Amino acid sequence: MRNSRLVLLVLALGCGGQSYVRPLKPERAPADEAARFTFPIDLPADGRMRIPADLAAAISLAMDDFRPRGVKPHRGATPDEVCLYQRESFDVTVAPGPEGVVFVRFTVKDGACDKDGPVADMGSTYAVEVAKHRILAIQRP
């Protein structure tokens, strides 16, 4: 009995004292809807782009911080505020930096929000250390 309590305590504390946070998984279509979807034999050439793994990882890390999944607008949010909570309202620009750092900049996509106010200043630039899977610094307007 004592050993099982010790095991539960260790599991509760987690490895190295860090707590485990279960990542949010994207919603999936119901099985019947997914079964009706047909993939093309090859990806369409028009608009296709290949994003290197380090850039994709940097974008993912920065986006998860900039607009975390599952976060909802506050009660009484204006349509512009609701728009700014949506990940798809932002374009992403990436550039390599020094010593394995990748710069990731989010800017409001043209036409995404009504822009009745200072929406143009709602972006941020992240410095991401891809190899260490961490955000090094954030620059906000």
Q: Tell whether 109 is covered by a domain.
A: yes
End-to-end CA distance of the chain: 56
Tens-digit pLDDT profile for the chain (141 aa)?
Answer: 554 444 333 344 444 444 555 566 778 899 999 999 999 999 899 988 999 999 999 999 999 999 998 888 999 988 888 888 899 999 999 999 999 999 999 999 988 887 555 555 578 999 999 999 999 999 998
* Structural domain harbouring 79: 41-139
Q: Tell whether 67 is covered by a domain.
A: yes
Number of domains in the chain: 1
Q: Tell whether 56 is covered by a domain.
A: yes
Q: Tell whether 53 is covered by a domain.
A: yes
Q: Tell whether 14 is covered by a domain.
A: no
| Backbone φ/ψ region at 2: left (φ over 0), alpha (ψ -120 to 50), beta | alpha
Q: Tell whether 19 is covered by a domain.
A: no
The pTM of this model reads 0.74
